[in-house]
Amino acid sequence: MSTEKFYSELPVLDNFFEVTDYQNFAWAPRDWYILITDVVDSTKAIEAGLYKEVNLLGACSIGAVVNIAGNVEIPFIFGGDGASILIPPSLLSAAKQALLATKNLAKQNFDLDLRVGVVPIAAVNEAGYQVQVAKFKVLDQYRQAVFSGGGINYATALIKNPDYTNIYCLNNLETSPKAANFIGVCCPWQDIQSLYGEINSLIVTAMVEDCEQEALIYQEVLAEIQNIYGIEEGSSPFYAGNLKLTFQDKDLNALLKVKSAAKNLLWHKTLLLQLKAQNLLALAFDKLKIECKVLKCIENKQEVVKATDYQKFSDTLNMIISGTPAQRKKLVTFLEQKHKQGKLVYGLHTSDRALITCYVNDPNGCHVHFVDGADGGYTLAAKAMKKAAQAMHNSKAEGRRQEAEGTRVLAIN
């Protein structure tokens, strides 16, 4: 029996708080696969000023796979320096070729190493982890995938583990694979300045084993964020007034490398002028309130603002929040309190702006705008969170060692 309609037939959640209730999730089919991509040494690339390129490759990973999926709706999530995607077995061969082509693009045009992994969900289940999926309605044209159960994190760890690289990673780049279809991937916007001074990239992971307690922790965090920032349910922290089309070469060069591998200088300049002309035309249409379906990447600004993934969940809570330094201090105080209680770990990276990388696929009605904090965003937040998690693990291990030592001494006495 085919499982291709598993994701398309899932019920839709209307309230983001519902993603903390694991009764709203369904088990992903055992015969599906997890596709994981991430830029190797992304922190180093970001330190070299390549944060736009890193983000764009994550979006390209998603675009390349969704474009071969046709009418099959598949769940995916953008991670800043990569992506996680679930596919049915019927798409496996084509998806491998698409991701190998994306890996090749990263190496040839960006001089970056894109790690690409394929992990069977059956293997994840056998290791004791689950891949549970839900669907959250952001807009009619954007239903966001939500993951829980630890399976995505486990698959990510597998492909980064040298002992399993040969089993789960795609590395066949001896010959250049057929070019992937990146139609729909675009980034026509300038970096988005915060209205209030800061853009915070936040990642939170609950550190309790009980599912009900875990759900409560995430609910507390979401409630506190709303209390501090006043973010209304389902609204973006950005607004149409700070969305501005870019005409700067530095903003468009990364997209040029995706659109064409040609090294010819004349072709490069021609394509650059074409992108600027497209943005200029979109600007004129926006001023005149004229709708143009040809300019699919540049929609009504209100729709762009709404169709963003500024809040999402994939075994961890991820949010991009615009606010003031005073609000951030209140949030950090709350998170530190919960951290000291051993309930959660978190990572936070602060910038003065965010960036949007867009993907528009009209046949599937998929309009999504991937949001990340500038200058490293989620990548640097994840680095901080991993450091905190390791420190908590070491502290608990030392506590257990001292407890065992105390028990041994008592037994001797």
221 within 8 A of 202, measured Cβ to Cβ: no
SS3 3: coil
Residue 200 lies in a domain: yes
Residue 407 is predicted with a pLDDT of 56
Rg over alpha carbons for the chain, rounded to the nearest Å, is 22
Instruction: State the Cα–Cα distance between residues 116 and 102, nearest whole angstrom.
Output: 9
| pLDDT of 291 above 50 | yes
What is the pLDDT of the chain when averaged over all its residues?
86
| pLDDT of 296 above 70 | no
If one compares 5 and 394, the residue with the highest pLDDT of the two is 5
Domain count, the chain: 1
Residue 132 lies in a domain: yes
In total, the chain counts a number of residues equal to: 413
User: Where residue 259 falls among pLDDT bands split at 50, 70, 90?
Assistant: confident
User: Where residue 385 falls among pLDDT bands split at 50, 70, 90?
Assistant: very high
Instruction: State the Cα–Cα distance between residues 64 and 99, nearest whole angstrom.
Output: 7
Residue pLDDT, tens place only, 310-346: 999 999 999 999 999 999 999 999 999 999 999 999 9
Residue 410 lies in a domain: no
| pLDDT of 173 above 60 | no
Residue 404 lies in a domain: no
Residue pLDDT, tens place only, 181-231: 898 888 888 888 888 889 999 999 999 888 889 999 999 999 999 999 986
| pLDDT of 75 above 60 | yes
| pLDDT of 135 above 80 | yes
Residue 353 lies in a domain: yes
Residue 255 lies in a domain: no
Residue 115 lies in a domain: yes
Q: Where are the alpha helices (DSSP H) in 34-85?
A: 42-47, 51-69
Residue pLDDT, tens place only, 11-52: 999 999 999 998 999 999 999 999 999 999 998 998 898 988
User: Where residue 234 falls among pLDDT bands split at 50, 70, 90?
Assistant: very low
Residue 264 is predicted with a pLDDT of 62
User: Where residue 119 falls among pLDDT bands split at 50, 70, 90?
Assistant: very high
**% of the chain surpassing 70 pLDDT:** 85
| pLDDT of 263 above 90 | no
Residue 158 lies in a domain: yes
41-50, 57-66, 239-248, 353-362, range with greatest mean pLDDT: 57-66
Residue 272 is predicted with a pLDDT of 77
Concatenated DSSP letters of 242-311: G--B---HHHHHHHHHHH-----HHHHHHHHHHHHHHHHHHHHHHHTT---TT-TTS--HHHHHHTB-SE
Instruction: State the Cα–Cα distance between residues 407 and 404, nearest whole angstrom.
Output: 5
Residue 180 DSSP label: P
User: Where residue 368 falls among pLDDT bands split at 50, 70, 90?
Assistant: confident
* Structural domain boundaries, residue 112: 12-241+301-396
Rounded mean pLDDT, 80-93: 95
b/e string for 294-312 if b means 16 or more Cβ within 10 A?
A: ebebbbebeebbbbbbbbb
Residue 174 is predicted with a pLDDT of 52
